[in-house]
């Protein structure tokens, strides 16, 4: 495995920082905000938390939950701003010097500006490790859904994010692959994230689902999610949720969303392909073998949560 050269390393880390020595975070979130506003946030009993590794279907899963929680008024989904649609728990304020340099306007803490004022029930997405979750989340144990995805597809989708957003540096595939193998992609290695959340996998208040099941068997998977949320949806209502969260529907709806382009560069798009197995178009044979070895070693002891990839 090649070490990143100095120039590439500088681009990988531009707009990022270390939350701790082995954990890289995007500059769109700020360490002190997590340790204060996030940690002390008031958690409501009917909150629903959506936990995902970056690019594991966060936006889509948010829309699914939003549709289920508002099944009697699906039109409200069309009125949401970008920040209301995807209120990532830990985002803001955007004070990282590299972001300021690139013209990303100052954004407040999502907790204070978006999440606290949200009407109940709130669905709150996050990529945080459990140790950084709100103190009251640990105490109240609100409904929490962990949406898992093939780590190779996550990495390919992250490549698209590096190329589309203004809050991450543009990277080529080989550069991102080497950065991941060296633990330098945002939110850290996939196995570390999965193992940290696996601590709660058998808790009654937590549901562990797979992106692939939602994609390939939506009727059954959506029904299980609805049941977990305490929503007794009819077959017709499940079909409605499937319709308003389809790729084409969401892509068209996003065109009118307020603030939709605030984080995108000129070539950026919110929805890419969302397909299962897209990693096969990018991984070389050597990269696949290297990744599989790294993945197997990283998931040792947690083989039941591994993807056969």
Query: Which residues are identified as catalytic?
Result: 127
State which H helix or E strand residue 20 sits in.
Answer: strand 16-20
Closest CA relative to residue 26, chosen from 37, 36, 39, 17:
17
Backbone angles phi, psi at 75, to 5 degrees: -60, -25
The first and second tokens of residue 200, run together, are: 């709660």
Backbone angles phi, psi at 282, to 5 degrees: -120, -40
- The CA distance from 184 to 161, in Å, is 15
Q: Would you call 23 helix, strand, or coil by DSSP? A: strand
């Amino acid at each position: 495995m090649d070490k990143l050269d100095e120039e590439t390393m500088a681009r990988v880390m531009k707009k990022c920082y270390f939350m701790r020595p082995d954990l890289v975070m995007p500059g769109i979130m700020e360490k002190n905000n997590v340790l204060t506003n996030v940690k002390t946030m008031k958690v409501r009993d009917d909150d629903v938390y959506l936990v995902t590794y970056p690019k594991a279907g966060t936006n889509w899963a948010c829309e699914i939950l939003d549709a289920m929680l508002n099944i009697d008024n699906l039109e409200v989904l069309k009125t949401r701003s970008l920040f209301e649609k995807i209120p990532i728990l830990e985002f803001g304020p955007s004070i990282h010097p590299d972001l300021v340099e690139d013209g990303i306007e100052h954004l407040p803490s999502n907790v204070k500006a978006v999440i606290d004022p949200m009407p109940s029930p709130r669905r709150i997405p996050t990529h945080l490790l459990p140790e950084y979750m709100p103190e009251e989340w640990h105490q109240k144990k609100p409904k929490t859904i962990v949406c898992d995805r093939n780590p190779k597809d996550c990495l390919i989708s992250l490549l698209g994010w590096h190329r589309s957003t203004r809050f991450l540096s543009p990277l080529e595939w080989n550069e991102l692959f080497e950065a991941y193998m060296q633990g330098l992609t945002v939110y850290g290695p996939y196995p570390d994230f999965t193992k940290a959340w696996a601590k709660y996998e058998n808790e009654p208040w937590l549901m562990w689902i797979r992106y692939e099941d939602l994609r390939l068997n939506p009727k059954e998977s959506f029904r299980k999610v609805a049941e977990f949320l305490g929503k007794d949806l009819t077959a017709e209502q499940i079909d409605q949720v499937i319709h308003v969260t389809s790729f084409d529907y969401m892509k068209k709806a996003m065109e009118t969303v307020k603030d939709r382009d605030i984080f995108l560069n000129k070539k950026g798009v919110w929805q890419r392909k969302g397909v299962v197995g897209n990693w096969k178009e990018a991984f070389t044979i050597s990269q696949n073998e290297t990744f599989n070895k790294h993945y197997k070693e990283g998931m040792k002891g947690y083989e039941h949560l591994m993807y056969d990839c």
